[in-house]
Structure 1
Protein backbone atom coordinates (compact mmCIF):
# COMPACT_ATOMS: atom_id res chain seq x y z
CA UNK A 1 0.00 0.00 0.00
CA UNK A 2 1.35 3.42 -0.98
CA UNK A 3 0.08 6.94 -0.31
CA UNK A 4 0.66 9.88 -2.64
CA UNK A 5 -0.58 13.46 -2.64
CA UNK A 6 -2.95 14.48 -5.44
CA UNK A 7 -3.85 18.06 -4.45
CA UNK A 8 -3.09 20.11 -1.33
CA UNK A 9 -6.07 18.46 0.41
CA UNK A 10 -6.38 15.03 -1.25
CA UNK A 11 -4.20 11.94 -0.86
CA UNK A 12 -4.50 8.66 -2.76
CA UNK A 13 -3.93 5.30 -1.09
CA UNK A 14 -3.05 2.59 -3.60
CA UNK A 15 -3.62 -1.08 -2.78
CA UNK A 16 -2.75 -4.20 -4.76
CA UNK A 17 -6.19 -3.71 -6.31
CA UNK A 18 -8.10 -0.46 -6.18
CA UNK A 19 -7.52 2.94 -4.63
CA UNK A 20 -8.99 5.01 -1.84
CA UNK A 21 -8.72 8.72 -1.10
CA UNK A 22 -8.31 10.77 2.06
CA UNK A 23 -9.77 14.26 1.84
CA UNK A 24 -8.87 16.99 4.32
CA UNK A 25 -11.93 19.15 4.82
CA UNK A 26 -11.48 22.93 4.77
CA UNK A 27 -11.29 24.87 8.00
CA UNK A 28 -9.76 21.98 10.01
CA UNK A 29 -13.23 20.47 10.27
CA UNK A 30 -12.07 16.92 9.82
CA UNK A 31 -11.46 14.37 7.12
CA UNK A 32 -13.40 12.17 4.73
CA UNK A 33 -12.54 8.89 3.06
CA UNK A 34 -13.65 8.01 -0.44
CA UNK A 35 -13.56 4.19 -0.49
CA UNK A 36 -11.61 2.02 1.94
CA UNK A 37 -9.49 -0.42 -0.03
CA UNK A 38 -9.29 -4.18 0.23
CA UNK A 39 -10.40 -6.16 3.29
CA UNK A 40 -7.85 -6.29 6.08
CA UNK A 41 -6.34 -2.85 5.48
CA UNK A 42 -8.11 -0.75 8.12
CA UNK A 43 -5.07 -0.45 10.40
CA UNK A 44 -2.84 0.56 7.52
CA UNK A 45 -5.35 3.19 6.40
CA UNK A 46 -5.46 4.57 9.95
CA UNK A 47 -1.66 4.58 10.05
CA UNK A 48 -1.51 6.57 6.82
CA UNK A 49 -4.09 9.02 8.15
CA UNK A 50 -2.02 9.45 11.32
CA UNK A 51 0.98 10.40 9.19
CA UNK A 52 -1.19 13.13 7.67
CA UNK A 53 -2.16 14.38 11.12
CA UNK A 54 -5.63 12.83 11.23
CA UNK A 55 -6.89 10.96 14.29
CA UNK A 56 -9.57 8.28 13.86
CA UNK A 57 -12.18 10.56 15.38
CA UNK A 58 -11.34 13.25 12.82
CA UNK A 59 -12.88 11.15 10.02
CA UNK A 60 -16.42 12.46 9.53
CA UNK A 61 -17.58 10.61 6.43
CA UNK A 62 -16.74 7.38 4.63
CA UNK A 63 -18.21 7.42 1.13
CA UNK A 64 -18.26 4.14 -0.78
CA UNK A 65 -18.39 4.74 -4.52
CA UNK A 66 -19.68 1.20 -5.04
CA UNK A 67 -19.96 -2.24 -3.48
CA UNK A 68 -16.95 -4.12 -4.88
CA UNK A 69 -14.58 -5.62 -2.33
CA UNK A 70 -11.56 -3.56 -3.39
CA UNK A 71 -13.48 -0.40 -2.48
CA UNK A 72 -15.68 -1.33 0.48
CA UNK A 73 -13.41 -4.05 1.81
CA UNK A 74 -12.24 -2.30 5.00
CA UNK A 75 -15.32 -0.14 5.49
CA UNK A 76 -16.81 -1.99 8.46
CA UNK A 77 -13.59 -1.87 10.46
CA UNK A 78 -12.92 1.78 9.61
CA UNK A 79 -16.48 2.76 10.48
CA UNK A 80 -16.08 1.12 13.89
CA UNK A 81 -12.66 2.67 14.51
CA UNK A 82 -13.64 6.21 13.52
CA UNK A 83 -17.34 6.51 14.30
CA UNK A 84 -17.76 8.14 10.88
CA UNK A 85 -21.03 7.91 9.05
CA UNK A 86 -21.03 5.61 6.03
CA UNK A 87 -22.58 6.81 2.78
CA UNK A 88 -23.20 4.83 -0.41
CA UNK A 89 -25.44 4.82 -3.44
CA UNK A 90 -28.92 3.48 -2.72
CA UNK A 91 -28.58 0.82 -5.41
CA UNK A 92 -25.55 -0.76 -3.71
CA UNK A 93 -26.54 -0.33 -0.07
CA UNK A 94 -28.09 -3.80 0.34
CA UNK A 95 -24.93 -5.44 -1.04
CA UNK A 96 -22.71 -3.42 1.29
CA UNK A 97 -24.89 -4.38 4.25
CA UNK A 98 -24.57 -8.03 3.27
CA UNK A 99 -28.30 -8.43 2.66
CA UNK A 100 -28.01 -9.55 -0.98
CA UNK A 101 -25.13 -10.98 -3.07
CA UNK A 102 -23.05 -8.88 -5.44
CA UNK A 103 -24.58 -9.01 -8.95
CA UNK A 104 -22.06 -10.40 -11.45
CA UNK A 105 -20.80 -8.21 -14.30
CA UNK A 106 -21.92 -8.72 -17.88
CA UNK A 107 -18.56 -9.16 -19.58
CA UNK A 108 -17.55 -8.21 -23.08
CA UNK A 109 -15.69 -11.07 -24.75
CA UNK A 110 -12.37 -9.24 -24.51
CA UNK A 111 -12.90 -8.68 -20.78
CA UNK A 112 -13.19 -12.39 -19.90
CA UNK A 113 -9.45 -13.22 -19.67
CA UNK A 114 -8.80 -9.94 -17.83
CA UNK A 115 -11.60 -10.69 -15.37
CA UNK A 116 -10.28 -14.20 -14.77
CA UNK A 117 -6.80 -12.80 -14.14
CA UNK A 118 -8.09 -10.22 -11.67
CA UNK A 119 -10.19 -12.82 -9.87
CA UNK A 120 -7.15 -15.10 -9.63
CA UNK A 121 -5.15 -12.31 -8.06
CA UNK A 122 -7.84 -11.82 -5.42
CA UNK A 123 -8.21 -15.52 -4.65
CA UNK A 124 -6.64 -15.24 -1.21
CA UNK A 125 -8.44 -12.05 -0.20
CA UNK A 126 -11.08 -12.62 2.49
CA UNK A 127 -14.65 -11.55 1.90
CA UNK A 128 -15.38 -8.08 3.28
CA UNK A 129 -17.45 -7.80 6.42
CA UNK A 130 -20.93 -6.38 5.88
CA UNK A 131 -20.97 -2.69 6.73
CA UNK A 132 -23.73 -0.41 7.90
CA UNK A 133 -24.86 2.32 5.51
CA UNK A 134 -26.04 5.36 7.43
CA UNK A 135 -27.11 7.40 4.42
CA UNK A 136 -28.19 6.09 1.02
CA UNK A 137 -27.19 8.58 -1.66
CA UNK A 138 -29.19 9.53 -4.71
CA UNK A 139 -29.91 12.22 -7.29
CA UNK A 140 -29.93 15.74 -5.85
CA UNK A 141 -28.07 14.95 -2.64
CA UNK A 142 -25.43 17.46 -1.56
CA UNK A 143 -22.77 16.96 1.12
CA UNK A 144 -21.06 19.74 3.06
CA UNK A 145 -17.34 19.19 3.26
CA UNK A 146 -16.58 22.87 3.77
CA UNK A 147 -17.51 23.18 0.12
CA UNK A 148 -20.46 21.85 -1.82
CA UNK A 149 -20.12 18.21 -2.81
CA UNK A 150 -22.73 17.12 -5.32
CA UNK A 151 -23.67 13.46 -5.43
CA UNK A 152 -23.72 12.20 -9.03
CA UNK A 153 -25.41 8.81 -9.53
CA UNK A 154 -23.44 6.97 -12.23
CA UNK A 155 -25.02 3.51 -12.60
CA UNK A 156 -23.65 0.90 -14.95
CA UNK A 157 -20.52 -0.40 -13.27
CA UNK A 158 -22.81 -1.36 -10.42
CA UNK A 159 -26.42 -0.34 -9.90
CA UNK A 160 -25.52 2.12 -7.16
CA UNK A 161 -22.20 3.48 -8.43
CA UNK A 162 -21.78 7.05 -7.22
CA UNK A 163 -19.44 9.88 -8.18
CA UNK A 164 -18.70 12.95 -6.08
CA UNK A 165 -18.26 16.43 -7.58
CA UNK A 166 -16.56 19.04 -5.42
CA UNK A 167 -17.92 22.06 -7.21
CA UNK A 168 -15.66 24.83 -5.92
CA UNK A 169 -12.36 23.01 -6.31
CA UNK A 170 -13.44 21.22 -9.50
CA UNK A 171 -12.62 17.72 -8.27
CA UNK A 172 -14.44 14.56 -9.38
CA UNK A 173 -14.22 11.16 -7.70
CA UNK A 174 -15.39 8.62 -10.29
CA UNK A 175 -15.05 5.30 -8.50
CA UNK A 176 -14.67 2.54 -11.09
CA UNK A 177 -16.89 4.11 -13.75
CA UNK A 178 -13.76 5.60 -15.35
CA UNK A 179 -10.19 4.31 -15.24
CA UNK A 180 -6.82 5.73 -16.24
CA UNK A 181 -4.61 2.68 -16.58
CA UNK A 182 -2.31 3.24 -19.53
CA UNK A 183 -5.13 5.14 -21.15
CA UNK A 184 -8.21 7.03 -20.03
CA UNK A 185 -11.14 4.67 -20.55
CA UNK A 186 -14.53 3.42 -19.51
CA UNK A 187 -14.22 1.22 -16.43
CA UNK A 188 -14.38 -2.53 -17.05
CA UNK A 189 -16.57 -5.31 -15.64
CA UNK A 190 -19.87 -3.46 -15.81
CA UNK A 191 -23.32 -4.83 -15.00
CA UNK A 192 -24.82 -2.60 -17.73
CA UNK A 193 -22.42 -1.26 -20.35
CA UNK A 194 -24.87 1.17 -22.05
CA UNK A 195 -25.71 2.78 -18.71
CA UNK A 196 -22.01 2.90 -17.83
CA UNK A 197 -21.33 4.78 -21.07
CA UNK A 198 -24.15 7.21 -20.31
CA UNK A 199 -22.61 7.75 -16.87
CA UNK A 200 -19.23 8.44 -18.46
CA UNK A 201 -20.85 11.08 -20.65
CA UNK A 202 -22.55 12.65 -17.65
CA UNK A 203 -19.26 13.00 -15.80
CA UNK A 204 -17.46 14.34 -18.86
CA UNK A 205 -19.98 17.20 -19.05
CA UNK A 206 -19.16 18.50 -15.56
CA UNK A 207 -16.10 20.43 -16.71
CA UNK A 208 -13.91 19.38 -13.80
CA UNK A 209 -10.23 20.20 -13.37
CA UNK A 210 -9.16 17.14 -11.37
CA UNK A 211 -10.40 13.56 -11.71
CA UNK A 212 -9.63 10.85 -9.15
CA UNK A 213 -10.29 7.28 -10.29
CA UNK A 214 -10.78 3.94 -8.59
CA UNK A 215 -7.95 2.55 -10.73
CA UNK A 216 -5.15 4.52 -12.31
CA UNK A 217 -3.42 7.86 -12.13
CA UNK A 218 -5.49 10.94 -11.24
CA UNK A 219 -5.64 13.76 -13.77
CA UNK A 220 -4.77 17.11 -12.18
CA UNK A 221 -5.62 19.98 -14.50
CA UNK A 222 -7.74 19.77 -17.65
CA UNK A 223 -9.55 16.62 -16.61
CA UNK A 224 -12.85 17.72 -18.11
CA UNK A 225 -11.35 18.12 -21.58
CA UNK A 226 -9.65 14.72 -21.32
CA UNK A 227 -12.89 13.05 -20.25
CA UNK A 228 -14.84 14.76 -23.02
CA UNK A 229 -12.40 13.55 -25.67
CA UNK A 230 -12.86 9.93 -24.57
CA UNK A 231 -16.62 10.26 -24.10
CA UNK A 232 -17.00 11.42 -27.71
CA UNK A 233 -15.47 8.13 -28.87
CA UNK A 234 -17.64 5.82 -26.76
CA UNK A 235 -20.48 3.82 -28.23
CA UNK A 236 -22.67 1.18 -26.63
Structure 2
Protein backbone atom coordinates (compact mmCIF):
# COMPACT_ATOMS: atom_id res chain seq x y z
CA UNK A 1 0.00 0.00 0.00
CA UNK A 2 1.39 3.41 -0.97
CA UNK A 3 1.60 6.16 1.64
CA UNK A 4 0.47 9.39 -0.05
CA UNK A 5 -0.01 11.41 3.14
CA UNK A 6 3.03 13.71 3.60
CA UNK A 7 2.09 14.12 7.25
CA UNK A 8 2.72 10.45 7.99
CA UNK A 9 6.11 8.71 7.98
CA UNK A 10 6.69 6.32 5.12
CA UNK A 11 6.67 2.69 6.23
CA UNK A 12 10.08 1.07 6.01
CA UNK A 13 10.46 -1.69 3.41
CA UNK A 14 10.66 -5.17 4.98
CA UNK A 15 14.20 -6.38 5.51
CA UNK A 16 15.38 -9.67 4.05
CA UNK A 17 14.48 -12.56 6.35
CA UNK A 18 14.75 -16.32 6.39
CA UNK A 19 12.91 -18.99 8.32
CA UNK A 20 14.37 -22.53 8.38
CA UNK A 21 12.33 -25.71 8.25
CA UNK A 22 14.41 -28.54 9.75
CA UNK A 23 13.65 -32.24 9.35
CA UNK A 24 15.54 -35.30 10.53
CA UNK A 25 16.57 -38.23 8.32
CA UNK A 26 17.60 -41.74 9.38
CA UNK A 27 19.14 -44.11 6.84
CA UNK A 28 19.60 -47.69 8.06
CA UNK A 29 22.88 -49.46 7.46
CA UNK A 30 23.11 -50.71 3.89
CA UNK A 31 21.02 -47.93 2.33
CA UNK A 32 23.92 -45.53 1.72
CA UNK A 33 26.91 -47.52 2.88
CA UNK A 34 27.83 -49.93 5.63
CA UNK A 35 26.92 -47.59 8.48
CA UNK A 36 23.59 -46.08 9.44
CA UNK A 37 23.30 -42.33 8.94
CA UNK A 38 21.41 -39.69 10.89
CA UNK A 39 21.37 -36.11 9.64
CA UNK A 40 19.12 -33.11 9.18
CA UNK A 41 17.85 -31.51 6.00
CA UNK A 42 16.73 -27.89 5.83
CA UNK A 43 14.54 -25.92 3.49
CA UNK A 44 13.93 -22.21 3.93
CA UNK A 45 11.36 -19.49 3.56
CA UNK A 46 13.21 -16.37 2.48
CA UNK A 47 12.24 -12.98 1.18
CA UNK A 48 11.49 -9.34 1.67
CA UNK A 49 9.56 -6.65 -0.14
CA UNK A 50 9.69 -8.39 -3.53
CA UNK A 51 8.18 -11.73 -2.52
CA UNK A 52 8.37 -14.88 -0.42
CA UNK A 53 10.57 -17.68 -1.77
CA UNK A 54 10.62 -21.27 -0.60
CA UNK A 55 14.08 -22.76 -1.12
CA UNK A 56 13.61 -26.52 -1.57
CA UNK A 57 10.47 -28.52 -0.87
CA UNK A 58 11.93 -30.88 1.74
CA UNK A 59 11.08 -34.51 2.26
CA UNK A 60 7.81 -36.10 1.24
CA UNK A 61 5.27 -35.03 3.84
CA UNK A 62 7.04 -31.74 4.59
CA UNK A 63 3.99 -29.53 3.92
CA UNK A 64 2.85 -29.43 7.55
CA UNK A 65 6.29 -28.26 8.73
CA UNK A 66 6.38 -25.62 5.98
CA UNK A 67 2.89 -24.48 6.98
CA UNK A 68 4.03 -24.05 10.58
CA UNK A 69 6.96 -21.93 9.36
CA UNK A 70 4.58 -19.80 7.31
CA UNK A 71 2.52 -19.29 10.44
CA UNK A 72 5.60 -18.12 12.36
CA UNK A 73 6.03 -15.43 9.70
CA UNK A 74 2.36 -14.48 9.68
CA UNK A 75 2.15 -15.73 6.08
CA UNK A 76 0.06 -18.21 4.09
CA UNK A 77 0.65 -20.58 1.21
CA UNK A 78 -0.70 -17.95 -1.19
CA UNK A 79 2.14 -15.62 -0.19
CA UNK A 80 4.78 -17.93 -1.70
CA UNK A 81 5.73 -16.39 -5.04
CA UNK A 82 8.50 -18.80 -6.01
CA UNK A 83 9.90 -22.23 -5.17
CA UNK A 84 13.57 -22.74 -6.01
CA UNK A 85 14.91 -26.30 -5.93
CA UNK A 86 18.65 -26.42 -5.28
CA UNK A 87 18.88 -29.91 -6.77
CA UNK A 88 16.99 -33.09 -7.54
CA UNK A 89 17.66 -35.35 -4.53
CA UNK A 90 14.56 -36.71 -2.75
CA UNK A 91 15.24 -34.93 0.55
CA UNK A 92 14.95 -31.63 -1.35
CA UNK A 93 12.15 -32.36 -3.84
CA UNK A 94 10.14 -35.09 -2.07
CA UNK A 95 7.54 -32.57 -0.89
CA UNK A 96 7.22 -30.88 -4.29
CA UNK A 97 3.83 -32.28 -5.34
CA UNK A 98 2.12 -31.31 -2.09
CA UNK A 99 3.77 -27.88 -1.96
CA UNK A 100 2.81 -27.18 -5.59
CA UNK A 101 -0.80 -28.10 -4.83
CA UNK A 102 -0.94 -25.77 -1.83
CA UNK A 103 0.84 -22.86 -3.56
CA UNK A 104 -0.36 -23.23 -7.19
CA UNK A 105 0.54 -19.65 -8.12
CA UNK A 106 4.21 -20.07 -7.18
CA UNK A 107 6.71 -20.30 -10.03
CA UNK A 108 8.95 -23.37 -9.67
CA UNK A 109 12.63 -23.15 -10.62
CA UNK A 110 15.65 -25.48 -10.77
CA UNK A 111 18.98 -25.89 -12.53
CA UNK A 112 18.31 -27.03 -16.10
CA UNK A 113 20.28 -30.32 -16.03
CA UNK A 114 18.34 -31.51 -12.97
CA UNK A 115 14.85 -30.75 -14.25
CA UNK A 116 14.39 -34.02 -16.22
CA UNK A 117 15.14 -36.02 -13.06
CA UNK A 118 12.66 -34.18 -10.80
CA UNK A 119 9.25 -35.92 -10.68
CA UNK A 120 6.67 -33.19 -11.24
CA UNK A 121 3.32 -32.67 -12.93
CA UNK A 122 3.92 -28.92 -12.69
CA UNK A 123 6.13 -26.86 -14.99
CA UNK A 124 9.67 -26.37 -13.63
CA UNK A 125 11.51 -23.43 -15.17
CA UNK A 126 15.29 -23.51 -15.73
CA UNK A 127 17.68 -21.10 -14.03
CA UNK A 128 21.00 -20.06 -15.52
CA UNK A 129 24.06 -18.59 -13.83
CA UNK A 130 23.33 -14.97 -12.90
CA UNK A 131 19.54 -15.20 -13.11
CA UNK A 132 17.62 -13.49 -10.30
CA UNK A 133 14.62 -14.68 -8.30
CA UNK A 134 13.16 -12.02 -5.98
CA UNK A 135 16.52 -10.37 -5.35
CA UNK A 136 18.47 -13.63 -5.08
CA UNK A 137 21.14 -14.32 -7.70
CA UNK A 138 21.57 -17.82 -9.07
CA UNK A 139 25.02 -19.37 -8.85
CA UNK A 140 25.31 -22.65 -10.72
CA UNK A 141 27.33 -25.00 -8.50
CA UNK A 142 27.28 -28.44 -10.16
CA UNK A 143 28.98 -31.51 -8.80
CA UNK A 144 26.66 -32.76 -6.10
CA UNK A 145 24.24 -33.10 -9.01
CA UNK A 146 24.65 -31.88 -12.58
CA UNK A 147 22.21 -29.01 -12.07
CA UNK A 148 22.89 -28.07 -8.46
CA UNK A 149 22.56 -24.35 -7.75
CA UNK A 150 23.21 -21.90 -4.91
CA UNK A 151 21.55 -18.54 -4.25
CA UNK A 152 23.06 -15.25 -3.11
CA UNK A 153 20.88 -12.42 -1.86
CA UNK A 154 23.02 -9.53 -3.05
CA UNK A 155 21.64 -6.83 -0.75
CA UNK A 156 22.03 -8.77 2.51
CA UNK A 157 24.96 -10.99 1.51
CA UNK A 158 23.15 -14.16 2.60
CA UNK A 159 24.38 -17.18 0.61
CA UNK A 160 22.36 -20.41 0.40
CA UNK A 161 24.80 -23.16 -0.58
CA UNK A 162 22.44 -26.13 -0.84
CA UNK A 163 24.49 -29.33 -0.65
CA UNK A 164 27.76 -27.97 -2.03
CA UNK A 165 29.03 -28.16 1.56
CA UNK A 166 27.50 -28.83 4.98
CA UNK A 167 28.40 -28.65 8.65
CA UNK A 168 28.89 -31.26 11.37
CA UNK A 169 29.71 -30.45 15.01
CA UNK A 170 30.54 -26.85 14.16
CA UNK A 171 32.90 -27.66 11.28
CA UNK A 172 32.37 -27.42 7.55
CA UNK A 173 32.39 -30.77 5.72
CA UNK A 174 31.98 -32.04 2.20
CA UNK A 175 28.94 -34.14 1.44
CA UNK A 176 29.24 -37.93 1.51
CA UNK A 177 30.89 -39.22 -1.64
CA UNK A 178 28.07 -41.68 -2.30
CA UNK A 179 25.70 -38.75 -2.82
CA UNK A 180 28.05 -36.74 -5.07
CA UNK A 181 27.70 -37.18 -8.82
CA UNK A 182 31.03 -35.59 -9.85
CA UNK A 183 33.63 -34.98 -7.14
CA UNK A 184 35.95 -32.90 -9.36
CA UNK A 185 33.09 -30.64 -10.46
CA UNK A 186 31.99 -30.32 -6.83
CA UNK A 187 35.47 -29.05 -5.89
CA UNK A 188 35.32 -26.43 -8.63
CA UNK A 189 31.97 -25.28 -7.28
CA UNK A 190 33.42 -25.01 -3.76
CA UNK A 191 36.25 -22.89 -5.16
CA UNK A 192 33.69 -20.65 -6.88
CA UNK A 193 31.86 -20.08 -3.59
CA UNK A 194 35.12 -19.49 -1.70
CA UNK A 195 35.78 -16.43 -3.86
CA UNK A 196 32.66 -14.72 -2.58
CA UNK A 197 32.38 -12.62 0.58
CA UNK A 198 28.91 -13.41 1.98
CA UNK A 199 27.82 -12.11 5.36
CA UNK A 200 26.19 -15.46 6.16
CA UNK A 201 26.37 -18.95 4.66
CA UNK A 202 23.24 -21.09 4.97
CA UNK A 203 23.53 -24.87 4.61
CA UNK A 204 20.91 -27.45 3.66
CA UNK A 205 22.58 -29.90 6.05
CA UNK A 206 23.78 -28.49 9.35
CA UNK A 207 23.58 -25.15 11.18
CA UNK A 208 25.56 -22.00 10.48
CA UNK A 209 29.19 -21.82 11.63
CA UNK A 210 31.39 -18.85 12.59
CA UNK A 211 33.46 -17.23 9.83
CA UNK A 212 32.22 -19.58 7.10
CA UNK A 213 34.29 -18.10 4.27
CA UNK A 214 37.53 -18.72 6.19
CA UNK A 215 36.35 -22.23 7.07
CA UNK A 216 35.58 -22.99 3.43
CA UNK A 217 38.96 -21.73 2.29
CA UNK A 218 40.70 -23.83 4.94
CA UNK A 219 38.73 -26.88 3.79
CA UNK A 220 39.95 -26.33 0.24
CA UNK A 221 43.52 -25.64 1.37
CA UNK A 222 43.55 -28.88 3.33
CA UNK A 223 42.57 -30.89 0.27
CA UNK A 224 45.44 -29.31 -1.68
CA UNK A 225 47.93 -30.22 1.07
CA UNK A 226 46.56 -33.75 1.26
| TM-score calculated relative to the size of structure 2 | 0.79
Q: Which runs of 5+ in 1 are unaligned?
A: 1-6, 99-129
C-alpha contact 1:207 1:223 (8 A) present in aligned 2: no
Q: Does the residue aligned with 2:197 lie in a helix, a strand or coil?
A: coil
Report the Cα offset of residue 133 of structure 1. 4.0
Match of 1:228 in 2: 217
C-alpha contact 1:31 1:54 (8 A) present in aligned 2: no
Name which structure has the greater RCO, CA cutoff 8 Å, separation 6+: 1
Runs of 4+ with deviation above 4 angstroms: none
1:19 partnered with 2:42: yes
| Structure 1 range deviating more: 133-142 or 164-173 | 133-142
Match of 1:192 in 2: 182
Match of 1:73 in 2: 94
C-alpha contact 2:16 2:156 (8 A) present in aligned 1: no
Match of 2:6 in 1: none
Q: Does the residue aligned with 1:14 lie in a helix, a strand or coil?
A: strand
Match of 1:86 in 2: 108
Match of 2:129 among 134, 139, 164: 139
Evaluate the alpha carbon distance shift between residue 181 and residue 131 of structure 1 in structure 2; reply closer, same or farther with a 3 A threshold: farther
Match of 2:32 in 1: none
Q: Does the residue aligned with 1:93 lie in a helix, a strand or coil?
A: helix
C-alpha contact 2:111 2:128 (8 A) present in aligned 1: yes
C-alpha contact 1:186 1:200 (8 A) present in aligned 2: no
Q: How many residues align?
A: 192
- Say what the alpha-carbon RMSD is for the aligned residues: 1.9
Q: Which runs of 5+ in 2 are unaligned?
A: 1-14, 26-40
Deviations 1:114-172 (A, max 9, x none): xxxxxxxxxxxxxxxx35343211223122x2xx3211111110011000011121111
C-alpha contact 2:20 2:69 (8 A) present in aligned 1: no
Q: Does the residue aligned with 1:49 lie in a helix, a strand or coil?
A: helix
